[in-house]
Structure 1
Amino acid sequence: MLATFAAAPAALAQAYPTKPVTIVVGYPAGGSTDLTGRTLGDALAKQLGVPVVIENLGGAGGAIGAQKVASAAPDGYTLLVGANNEVAISKLVTKTTRYDLKDFTPIGLIASQPMVLVASPSAGVKNLDEFLAKVKAAPGKFSYGSSGVGTALHLAGEMVKERAGLFMTHIPYRGVAPLTTDLVGGNLDYGVFVLSSGLPHIKSGKVVALGTTEAKRSPLTADIPALGEHKALKGIDIGSWFVLMGPARLPDAVVARLKTALAESLKSPDFRKKMEASGSTVAAPGGDIGPFLQAEVAKYQKIVQFAKIEQ
Structure 2
Amino acid sequence: MTSSTRHPFFLPSRRGVLGLVAAAAWALAPLGAAAQGAYPSRPIKIVVGYPPGGSVDQAARIVADALGPRLSATLMIDNQGGAAGAIAAQRVVGSPADGYTLLAGSSNEMAATGLVNPAQKYDPQKDLTPIGLIATAPVLLVAGPRSGVKSLAEFVDTVKRSPGKFSYGSSGVGSTLHFAGELVKQRAGLSMVHIPYRGTAALTGDLAGGTLDFAMLSPTAALPFIQSGRLFPIAITSAQRSPLLPQVPAMGEHPLLKGYEMVGWFGLAGPRNLPPEVTQLLKQNLQAVLQDPAVRQRLDQAGMVSPHPTSPADLGQLIATDMAKYAKLVEFAHMRD
TM-score range, shorter chain: over 0.9
Rounded Cα–Cα distance in structure 2 between residues aligned with 1:31 and 1:108:
20
SS of the counterpart of 2:139? strand
Counterparts of residues 162-241 of structure 1 (less than 5 Å): 162-241=186-265
Any conservation in 2 of the 1:214–1:227 contact (CA below 8 Å)? yes
Shift in Å, 1:269 = 2.4
Any conservation in 1 of the 2:105–2:268 contact (CA below 8 Å)? yes
Equivalent residue number for residue 104 of structure 2: 81
Equivalent residue number for residue 69 of structure 1: 92
The TM-score with structure 2 as length reference comes to 0.86
* From 51, 60, 65, the counterpart of 2:74: 51
SS of the counterpart of 1:15? coil
Any conservation in 2 of the 1:88–1:296 contact (CA below 8 Å)? yes
SS of the counterpart of 1:75? coil
Counterparts of residues 1-311 of structure 1 (less than 5 Å): 15-100=38-123, 101-285=125-309, 286-310=312-336
Choose 1 or 2 for highest CA Rg.
2
SS of the counterpart of 2:146? helix
Deviations 1:212-259 (A, max 9, x none): 011111122211100011111122211110000011111111111101
Deviations 1:19-78 (A, max 9, x none): 111100011212111111111111110110010011111111110100111111111111
Any conservation in 2 of the 1:79–1:246 contact (CA below 8 Å)? yes
Rounded Cα–Cα distance in structure 2 between residues aligned with 1:269 and 1:180:
33
Any conservation in 2 of the 1:194–1:240 contact (CA below 8 Å)? no
Deviates most, 278-287 or 238-247: 278-287
Deviates most, 202-211 or 88-97: 202-211
The structure-2 alpha-carbon separation of the partners of 1:32 and 1:295, relative to structure 1 and needing over 3 Å to count, comes to same
Instruction: State the AA in 1 paired with 2:334.
Output: K
Question: What are structure 2's unaligned runs of at least 5 residues?
Answer: 1-33
Rounded Cα–Cα distance in structure 2 between residues aligned with 1:209 and 1:287:
29
The TM-score with structure 1 as length reference comes to 0.93
Any conservation in 2 of the 1:117–1:212 contact (CA below 8 Å)? yes
Rounded Cα–Cα distance in structure 2 between residues aligned with 1:208 and 1:219:
17
SS of the counterpart of 1:282? coil
Any conservation in 2 of the 1:67–1:98 contact (CA below 8 Å)? yes
Instruction: State the AA in 2 paired with 1:235.
Output: G
Identity %: 50
SS of the counterpart of 1:220? coil
Instruction: State the AA in 2 paired with 1:133.
Output: D
Question: What are structure 1's unaligned runs of at least 5 residues?
Answer: 1-10
Aligned Cα root-mean-square deviation (Å): 1.5
Aligned residues, how many?
A: 299
Equivalent residue number for residue 5 of structure 1: none
The structure-2 alpha-carbon separation of the partners of 1:84 and 1:288, relative to structure 1 and needing over 3 Å to count, comes to closer
Higher RCO (C-alpha 8 Å, min separation 6): 1
Equivalent residue number for residue 3 of structure 1: none
Shift in Å, 1:287 = 4.7
